Chain A
Amino acid sequence: MRKRLVASVIGLMAVLMFSALARAQENRQPGAVYDADIKGQKSAPAPKRDISGIWESAKGPGDAVQANGAKAMPSDGKADHALPFTPAGETEFKAHKPGFGVTAVPSAFINDPVDICDPQGFPRIVLHNFRTSQIVQTAKSVLILYEFNKKWRTIWTDGRELPKDMDTTEPRWWGYSVGNWVDDYTFVAESFGFNDKTWLDNAGRPHSDALKVEERYHRVDGDHLEMTITIEDPKMYTKPWVALDKLPLRLQSPSFDIREMECSPSETAEYNKEFSNPASGVGK
């Protein structure tokens, strides 16, 4: 009797723990199967100079949504998550009215640019709603395709330098990116040349046009990649800080269906009319 109970409990635990993954498997489109880490399963060794593939957060699809701001430094009021703002950074942060974090406001009063479907830009694409992403390596570049709002970026690997002078270059929502291999398993990219129209994350952290971002991809083994994002912006922050610290990603099947998550102004307007405005006490 006791053995049966233990066996039932173990069975129930297994079913509960894998039901989320099984559910995801059964509900993905045909040909797309979500691969999750399985305890005890050993991965093949890391291939050299290869970060290509379709990647999902190793801890599950929701792990890198980062609703409360950059995962390594969420906006939760804790002392060790306080950002090193300059006075200008503090002022800019207070001008942002996000839906999440310690400075959150009711939905109708949010002034987040993405709420009207402005591009979230880089690095916000990896600091808010980082979801299934595909990395493609070409002869002269690394391309990254992002599920969230169907965006993509180019990281040039042809030896070009970043623009030094903002006067000769139009600033971009997504910046300019160059990268290279620092060893056979680590690819590092630097980005510069951003406009100042985006937020860094979903909690409204600011950046200026002086922003520089370092992305570090470390291929751990055949199935795993770690992503680290470091922010440097002397106008807004007194020192660099790490926004994502070795976020673990797991390789997916090449036939994995990257879902569509478009920001539609018309659908957003419908949502605001039916829900967001009345919920905030603003007329329909």
Chain B
Amino acid sequence: MRCKLLAVFAVAIGLLVVSVPLAAHHGSSNFDMGKKLTLKGTVTDWFWANPHCFLKFDVKDDSGNVVHWVAETSNPPDMVNRGWSRQSLKPGDQVTVTVEPVKNGSPLGRVLQVVLPNGQTLGTGGAAPGTAAGPKPGDYSKQ
């Protein structure tokens, strides 16, 4: 029992240490904090630049209509620290994106994680306690 508690405690400490607050300059007031949407779609653009990188991807809704999503991340140096690169994503990639959406209902949000076509997961850190907080060891994109 004591060992189980130690295991839970150790993992919790580890996750807290790994998580790094998002350095998004433009603030959190746009976002519906704590809400999460998981979307399957096709990448149309991966914009690697300051002040924020952003991912554009198309998602088919239940009626077959295509919704054009835009989701931001932190800036390139922060993203490199989390295992991302300019080559992480390209148009045509089939991805599963978890976002924190904006409050006004537009198809916009902040990327929490992306599952790439090869099954690799890239996270953005700064997630709420208890959730996946960044890439796992070995999840590096090749540079």
Contact = CB atoms under 8 A, between A and B. Distances in A.
Given A267-B50, A271-B51, A20 B134 contact: yes
Contacts of A280: 30, 104
Contact of A275 (B15, B52, B75): B52
Contacts of A268: 50-51
A214 to B, nearest CB: 27
Interface residues of B, number: 49
Nearest to A99: B27
B137 interface: yes
Contacts of B136: 19
Interface string B75-103: 11110111101000000000000000010
Interface residues of A, number: 54
Interface string A13-52: 1011101101110111000000000000000000000000
A129 B83 CA distance: 20
Interface of A: 2, 5-6, 9-10, 12-13, 15-17, 19-20, 22-24, 26-28, 60-62, 65, 67, 98-100, 104-107, 110, 114-115, 129, 131, 147, 202, 259-264, 267-268, 270-271, 274-276, 278-281
Interface of B: 3, 6-7, 10-11, 13-15, 17-18, 20-30, 47, 49-52, 54, 56, 70, 72, 75-78, 80-83, 85, 102, 104, 106, 108, 134-137, 140, 143
10 contacts: A13-B14, A16-B13, A24-B81, A61-B20, A62-B20, A259-B76, A267-B51, A268-B51, A271-B54, A278-B108
